[in-house]
Chains A and B, each alone.
Chain A
């Protein structure tokens, strides 16, 4: 029983990391209709930068925030320069370009930092454990769960309740009309892209214990991030939250209970799920 709860908590923590990283992707793919396979690269950039700053003496949280901002800015630069010309081109061009971008991320970080994996040292108060009734449990994972929940609620409020969210949904439903009523669609998309990449960067930092930072990070976890988005339903914010948690728990459980076949288990699950529901569990046309 206690191992069951441990697996559940571990899975939740992992799922929250997946959610934080993927939520930006669900926006870019579902709302802006850009098939972006480079998203993991932004998480990786965030993680690397934070690792570097922490090694240089910057405390954990400031480093995490700064790294997320930097990842967001890299994302903004990418969106404005190379992605914007692709909005009206087909999916193939988008896949190719972002795939090339992934290569650039991988090679760039390797040239700068080498092929070794990067550790993001945790502050003391996160590296200990907390007693949770029946056992001691790593504080770090509890922190992940809490952070994920807070972010999810916050994002839900933003997308569902704010003027920004309303504008975003309008722009997605019909960019032409949105433009006509005075919404600056380009700026809106750029801003959203920056936010999504910033969140990915943040996820890269706080999730570094679970998704190890190494140059091929962007390709290695690509499938997982995409799965969250697709299974959740493209552009479906709540869907990707549920999908991320479900995948986190299922994958963790698979690794715990069937360590030898967990990867099969994961891929087969993805396979069956996508064949059964090609548009995800909760297909949605617009945000929230």
Chain B
């Protein structure tokens, strides 16, 4: 019996037995190692967790379902503003705020998804950009509500579960984000190994085939887009709650682009690709940006191009790719 190539993350995930389980524990163990080792840098790592969440949300929509979007920032920013405004005007409990922001982002994703997912290709790409553009424009104009260019200031959070205050060292923020990430991770995992996830994988590969077996393609896409939007909204909300600030940049196309870079860097459809890509990105960026942020941008652009050209599976597939080129190298063209 031949096994599937490593590329098929689905088969891999579902095929792993108990030994796999230990493997799956690794990232979370590392997360705790970081917690104890990275004192003073926890806010950076919290940001990494948030970016992982954002990247994972993009992986669902783009990686699995094949919805080519440049508008993920719309949901990230929406969630961030929703959580910030909720904390200021309604209640400062983080969890209630988080759930509210998540639900609202999901709703926003649902409504826009219903509208735009009929289209494909560049048109869809443009529409995702337009949604983010509209929202950014609103946030910029509605100075009274959002603080416009100055950003949303004065977000004060109560303690998590009424027990854990957000401390100066960012310990609570880190663990809180980690817990939220874990919850979403479990959801994502369930989705991608489920029949629902497999149908999305099918839609990405060949929508005509899925229609021919009776799949309501559009509804499936709307569903995953909604979930992805909710998830990106959670990431934005976490960002608002842990940094106590929401800026206009949360809605910029750069956020969408960054998420794309992180996803491609790590590898799509690998679930841990998002973890790897986002972590590497955030950490390296922290060093590089101190030198000159534009060196970093140059590097990221070049890296993205190189990834597309030479490393299709991202870092998760680095081993396999290297082996492939290694083996191919000595063979002369016929």
Contacts of A229 in B (CB 8 A): 122
Contacts of A263 in B (CB 8 A): 133, 137, 141
* Contact in complex: A279, B123 (CB < 8 Å): yes
Within 8 Å by CB of A270, from B118, B126, B295, B312, lies B126
Contacts of B264 in A (CB 8 A): 96
Contacts of A222 in B (CB 8 A): 129, 253
Taking residues whose C-beta sits less than 8 angstroms from the other chain, chain A's interface range is: 35 or more
Listed stretches B7-15, B216-224, B298-306; interface member: B298-306
* Contact in complex: A96, B123 (CB < 8 Å): no
Q: How far is it, in angstroms, between the C-alpha of A286 and the C-alpha of B260 when the chains are bound?
A: 32
Contacts of A271 in B (CB 8 A): 115, 127, 130-131, 134
User: B287 contacts the other chain (Cβ, under 8 Å)?
Assistant: no
Q: How far is it, in angstroms, between the C-alpha of A82 and the C-alpha of B119 when the chains are bound?
A: 28
Q: How far is it, in angstroms, between the C-alpha of A95 and the C-alpha of B125 when the chains are bound?
A: 9
Q: How far is it, in angstroms, between the C-alpha of A111 and the C-alpha of B302 when the chains are bound?
A: 15
User: B38 contacts the other chain (Cβ, under 8 Å)?
Assistant: no
Which residue of B is nearest A275, CB measured? B115
Q: How far is it, in angstroms, between the C-alpha of A227 and the C-alpha of B260 when the chains are bound?
A: 22
Residues 117-164 of B at the A interface (beta carbon under 8 Å) = 118-123, 125-127, 129-131, 133-134, 137-138, 141
* Contact in complex: A226, B129 (CB < 8 Å): yes
* Contact in complex: B308, A86 (CB < 8 Å): yes
* Contact in complex: A104, B302 (CB < 8 Å): yes
Q: How far is it, in angstroms, between the C-alpha of A175 and the C-alpha of B115 when the chains are bound?
A: 35
* Contact in complex: B309, A95 (CB < 8 Å): no
* Contact in complex: B130, A82 (CB < 8 Å): no
Q: How far is it, in angstroms, between the C-alpha of A101 and the C-alpha of B125 when the chains are bound?
A: 17
Q: With A82-B305, A271-B134, A275-B119 in contact, is A99–B300 under 8 Å at CB?
A: no
Q: How far is it, in angstroms, between the C-alpha of A133 and the C-alpha of B95 when the chains are bound?
A: 67
* Contact in complex: B125, A274 (CB < 8 Å): no
Q: With A100-B303, A270-B130 in contact, is A92–B123 under 8 Å at CB?
A: no
Within 8 Å by CB of B297, from A37, A95, A106, lies A106
Q: Interface readout for B62-77 with A: 1 if CB under 8 Å, 0 if not? A: 1000101010000000
* Contact in complex: A107, B137 (CB < 8 Å): no
* Contact in complex: B133, A230 (CB < 8 Å): no
Residues 261-295 of B at the A interface (beta carbon under 8 Å) = 261, 264, 292, 294-295
Q: With A107-B294, A223-B133, A275-B116 in contact, is A99–B260 under 8 Å at CB?
A: yes
Residues 93-113 of A at the B interface (beta carbon under 8 Å) = 93, 95-97, 99-108, 110-111
Within 8 Å by CB of A234, from B122, B129, B297, B304, lies B122
User: B257 contacts the other chain (Cβ, under 8 Å)?
Assistant: yes
Q: How far is it, in angstroms, between the C-alpha of A222 and the C-alpha of B130 when the chains are bound?
A: 11
User: A278 contacts the other chain (Cβ, under 8 Å)?
Assistant: yes
Q: How far is it, in angstroms, between the C-alpha of A271 and the C-alpha of B305 when the chains are bound?
A: 30
Q: How far is it, in angstroms, between the C-alpha of A102 and the C-alpha of B254 when the chains are bound?
A: 11
Contacts of A279 in B (CB 8 A): 123
* A182 CB, min distance to chain B CBs, angstroms: 24
Residues 91-122 of B at the A interface (beta carbon under 8 Å) = 115-116, 118-122
Which residue of B is nearest A109, CB measured? B294
Within 8 Å by CB of A264, from B125, B137, B257, lies B137
Contacts of A264 in B (CB 8 A): 134, 137-138, 141
Q: How far is it, in angstroms, between the C-alpha of A268 and the C-alpha of B131 when the chains are bound?
A: 9
Q: With A35-B125, A85-B309, A103-B304 in contact, is A267–B130 under 8 Å at CB?
A: yes
* Contact in complex: B68, A91 (CB < 8 Å): yes
Contacts of B138 in A (CB 8 A): 264
Q: How far is it, in angstroms, between the C-alpha of A179 and the C-alpha of B294 when the chains are bound?
A: 43
* Contact in complex: B305, A104 (CB < 8 Å): yes
Within 8 Å by CB of A108, from B62, B68, B298, lies B298
Q: With A99-B260, A106-B297, A107-B298 in contact, is A219–B253 under 8 Å at CB?
A: yes
Q: With A95-B68, A107-B301, A271-B134 in contact, is A223–B129 under 8 Å at CB?
A: yes
Contacts of B68 in A (CB 8 A): 91-92, 95
Contacts of A53 in B (CB 8 A): none
Q: With A97-B309, A227-B126 in contact, is A267–B70 under 8 Å at CB?
A: no
* B141 CB, min distance to chain A CBs, angstroms: 7
* Contact in complex: A96, B119 (CB < 8 Å): no
User: A212 contacts the other chain (Cβ, under 8 Å)?
Assistant: no
* A62 CB, min distance to chain B CBs, angstroms: 30
User: A260 contacts the other chain (Cβ, under 8 Å)?
Assistant: yes
Which residue of B is nearest A112, CB measured? B294
Q: How far is it, in angstroms, between the C-alpha of A252 and the C-alpha of B295 when the chains are bound?
A: 36
Which residue of A is nearest B308, CB measured? A97
Interface CB pairs A-B, < 8 A, 27: A37-B70, A85-B309, A91-B68, A93-B308, A95-B68, A95-B125, A96-B264, A96-B304, A96-B308, A97-B309, A99-B260, A99-B304, A101-B301, A102-B301, A103-B302, A105-B301, A107-B294, A107-B298, A107-B301, A110-B297, A111-B292, A222-B253, A230-B126, A263-B141, A268-B134, A271-B130, A274-B119
List residues of chain A with CB under 8 Å of any chain B CB: 29, 35, 37, 82, 85-86, 91-93, 95-97, 99-108, 110-111, 219, 222-223, 226-227, 229-230, 234, 260-261, 263-264, 267-268, 270-271, 274-275, 278-279
